[in-house]
Chains A and B, each alone.
Chain A
Amino acid sequence: EADIYQTPRYLVIGTGKKITLECSQTMGHDKMYWYQQDPGMELHLIHYSYGVNSTEKGDLSSESTVSRIRTEHFPLTLESARPSHTSQYLCASRPGTAIGEQYFGPGTRLTVT
């Protein structure tokens, strides 16, 4: 079983609020990822990190930002939430080797009203 956690699992928040979605893993994985997924739609990579102090933007442009100060922690922040940010956000991690399996967290379902 994967040891990767996300909080909160569900969040309903008003427009303009600042939010941080938490993601932590206890597997010591170097690589971590954030995906955005609408119901029934494909996964879109929005951010990833190769290791501490390394972050990159993904394939889908996002107004969110991320940080990687510790190996186990990869939070995602929205400075000012909008209804268009309503989606499911999935965090994932992989070991540093090229062929390591990628594990997903349970996801955060965000609704911005």
Chain B
Amino acid sequence: GQNIDQPTEMTATEGAIVQINCTYQTSGFNGLFWYQQHAGEAPTFLSYNVLDGLEEKGRFSSFLSRSKGYSYLLLKELQMKDSASYLCAVIKAAGNKLTFGGGTRVLVKP
């Protein structure tokens, strides 16, 4: 099976930086996704990492270390609209389905 762990909740101040960690245990790893989900809405894709290293996309960056089974999502210059849940998901080499973590609820305060 796959175990995916991420913190339940984080709070940060507008304009600050927040780092959301995700650890996973899986065999046949073939990539890790990050999704954003606002309350009552569907998840939307943020990033995909399959190789070690940092992927930067505007204010959001995602990092992967396959040897450590570890990823993080970095949100910079936080805005109020970034208040949402952030979901880490792992896909195995068979590639048929994503397994999602429980999500991290980020609250951005003024």
Binding site for A on B (CB under 8 A): 30-31, 33, 39-45, 48, 50, 87, 89, 91, 93-103, 105
Binding site for B on A (CB under 8 A): 31, 33, 39-43, 45, 48, 50, 58-59, 88, 90, 97-99, 101-107, 109
The answer to whether A31 touches B101 (Cβ under 8 A) is no
Report the minimum CB–CB distance from B41 to chain A (whole Å): 7
The answer to whether B42 touches A42 (Cβ under 8 A) is no
The answer to whether A107 touches B96 (Cβ under 8 A) is no
The 7 closest A-B pairs by CB, nearest first: A98-B95, A104-B42, A42-B102, A43-B100, A101-B45, A104-B43, A107-B42
The answer to whether A42 touches B96 (Cβ under 8 A) is no
Which secondary structure dominates where chain A touches chain B?
A: loop
Tell me whether A104 and B44 are in contact in the complex, defined as CB-CB below 8 angstroms, given that A42-B100, A42-B102, A99-B31 are known contacts: yes
The answer to whether B91 touches A99 (Cβ under 8 A) is yes
A41 to B99, CA, bound (A): 15
A99 to B94, CA, bound (A): 10
Beyond the given pairs A98-B94, A109-B40, 6 more chain A to chain B contacts, judged by CB atoms under 8 angstroms and listed by A's residue number, are A40-B105, A88-B40, A99-B50, A99-B91, A101-B48, A103-B45
